Structure 1
């Protein structure tokens, strides 16, 4: 038998950032990875403190940005690679009214550290009303992050590449197959619907598509451009453009209408030819109140859920992984706004 402090089920942002908490606190664990590309792994990796539709911010934005940067430095120390790309977002303004709203909001105490007052004009793309730069915005090297962490976990014999089988879990004895555990953390995203212990949590799938395109005229390398969606260069001489939000067409295949939406969106500000080389999609686990769900099972006190990260998976996954760890190990209360208990 193998003895561990924790079993983590799920290999997206929630699972990996919780694994980081365990690594920094010298806890023993294994993490179950099915090997399928999760919604996290096909995400844009945008780190953004501003809601760019309305120029507002969100709960604990500054704390989440600061904690992410600190955590990524720690992860870089033990994986030997850098994952945070300090490429700021430039939001293309639709008209003068958006410019004025941006300037007005940049005086707001909550937003002054995020909304740059000096507008920028970009070459190549259509931006007749210039762009607004989001201070402290960045991007995670998503492929590098998952490759680096999976490699570290595998080399340290913490990665189990198989689907977790709920029928093999003995809750009375705290045993799964040949593993004795103290706690299990379920971080399965939309897969939680098949979990007999937490299938009732109110997580809803939100389908997101993105395209990878070959541009005929290159863009600036060190920024992320946003109008309806995000555009930025990838490591393979292509550009990522996306992603969409769809709560209705939830089939497990590419939706032509989503691809059309993306092609049209890119054409609105990129006036040259481009070719779609790749289409990807994933299902974000979202919650109606836009807060994650963290908590302990009402009956089995060493079973926990960490889910509902939504479109801010990087920030939510990183920041609230510590809240969950402190709750389990130190009895620190879970924030009411993200607690599973808020649904009881």
Structure 2
């Protein structure tokens, strides 16, 4: 029987950023990874402090950006890889009114560090009303991040590549198969609906598609363009465009209507030919109040959940991993805005 401080079930942003906190604090743990591509692993990797539909920001945006950059430097210290891509978002304006609204909002205290007052014109796409640059925005090298961290965990005996079987948990002895654990943390995204301990948490699936396209004229490497969706270059010569949001069509197949929506959206501002090479989709776990769900089981006091990261998985996963660690290890109360208890 192997004694560990933690079992982590899941392998998305919540799981890996929490594993990072455990590494920083010399805690023993194992991560159970089923090996399927999670919503996190096919995500765009956009790091963005601004809601680009309305030009607003969100709770703790600056704190989250700062903490992510610090955390990625810490991750680099043991994976020897820098996963942060300095590629600011350029939001294409639809008309003059959007330009004026952007400038007006850029004077607000909570937005002045994010909305650049100087507009840019991009030559490779249609942007008749120019673009606004989001300062402090960037991207994560998603493939590199997951490959690098999962490899590191595997090489250090902290990764178990198998589907977690709830029926083999002994809640009285705190054991699972050959492991005796102090705490167990479930970071399963929409997989939580099969979890007998936390299946009732209020996460709502939101299906997102993206396409990977070959552009006849490639974008510069250091730019991310946003109109309806995000467009940016990938390492393999393809470009990412997406993703959609759908709470209705929740079957596990590609939706042709979503692909059509993406092709139409891209052709509206990319004037040259492109070819769709790949289509991907996943299910984001979203919450009505747009904040993650963290907390302890009401009966099994060493069972925890970390879920509901939504479309801001990187920022939410990174920042609140520390919040959850401090709650478990140091008895620092969870903010009510993210606590599982807010739904009682």
Name the TM-score class by shorter chain.
Answer: over 0.9
Deviations along 1:239-279, one digit per CA (max 9) or x if unpaired, are 00000000000010100000000000000000111000000
Provide structure 1 residue ranges, at least 5 long, that are not aligned to the other structure: none
Residue 41 of structure 1 corresponds to: 41
Task: State the 1:220 CA deviation.
Answer: 1.9
Task: State the 1:110 CA deviation.
Answer: 0.4
Q: What is the DSSP-based 3-state SS (H/G/I as helix, E as strand, rest coil) of the residue aligned with 1:252?
A: coil
Task: State the 1:221 CA deviation.
Answer: 1.7
Residue 245 of structure 1 corresponds to: 245
Number of residue pairs the alignment of both structures matches: 344
Within 1, Cα distance between the matches of 2:104 and 2:287?
31
Flag as ranges the 4+ runs of structure 1 deviating above 4 A.
none
Within 2, Cα distance between the matches of 1:94 and 1:117?
17
Deviations along 1:115-156, one digit per CA (max 9) or x if unpaired, are 000000001100000000000000000000000001100000
Within 1, Cα distance between the matches of 2:179 and 2:151?
22
Q: What is the DSSP-based 3-state SS (H/G/I as helix, E as strand, rest coil) of the residue aligned with 2:342?
A: helix
Task: State the 1:294 CA deviation.
Answer: 0.2
Within 2, Cα distance between the matches of 1:223 and 1:241?
13
Residue 339 of structure 1 corresponds to: 339
Q: Calculate the TM-score normalised by the size of structure 2.
A: 1.00
Residue 222 of structure 1 corresponds to: 222
The aligned runs of 1:1-344 (5 Å cut-off) are 1-344=1-344
Task: State the 1:79 CA deviation.
Answer: 0.4
Deviations along 1:163-215, one digit per CA (max 9) or x if unpaired, are 11000000000000110000000000000000000000000100000000000
Within 1, Cα distance between the matches of 2:32 and 2:233?
31
Within 1, Cα distance between the matches of 2:218 and 2:283?
30
Q: What is the DSSP-based 3-state SS (H/G/I as helix, E as strand, rest coil) of the residue aligned with 2:101?
A: helix
Q: What is the DSSP-based 3-state SS (H/G/I as helix, E as strand, rest coil) of the residue aligned with 2:56?
A: coil
Q: Calculate the TM-score normalised by the size of structure 1.
A: 1.00
Task: State the 1:323 CA deviation.
Answer: 0.5
Identify which range, 214-223 or 91-100, moves more after superposition: 214-223
Provide structure 2 residue ranges, at least 5 long, that are not aligned to the other structure: none
Task: State the 1:218 CA deviation.
Answer: 1.7
Within 1, Cα distance between the matches of 2:230 and 2:323?
30
Within 2, Cα distance between the matches of 1:323 and 1:283?
25
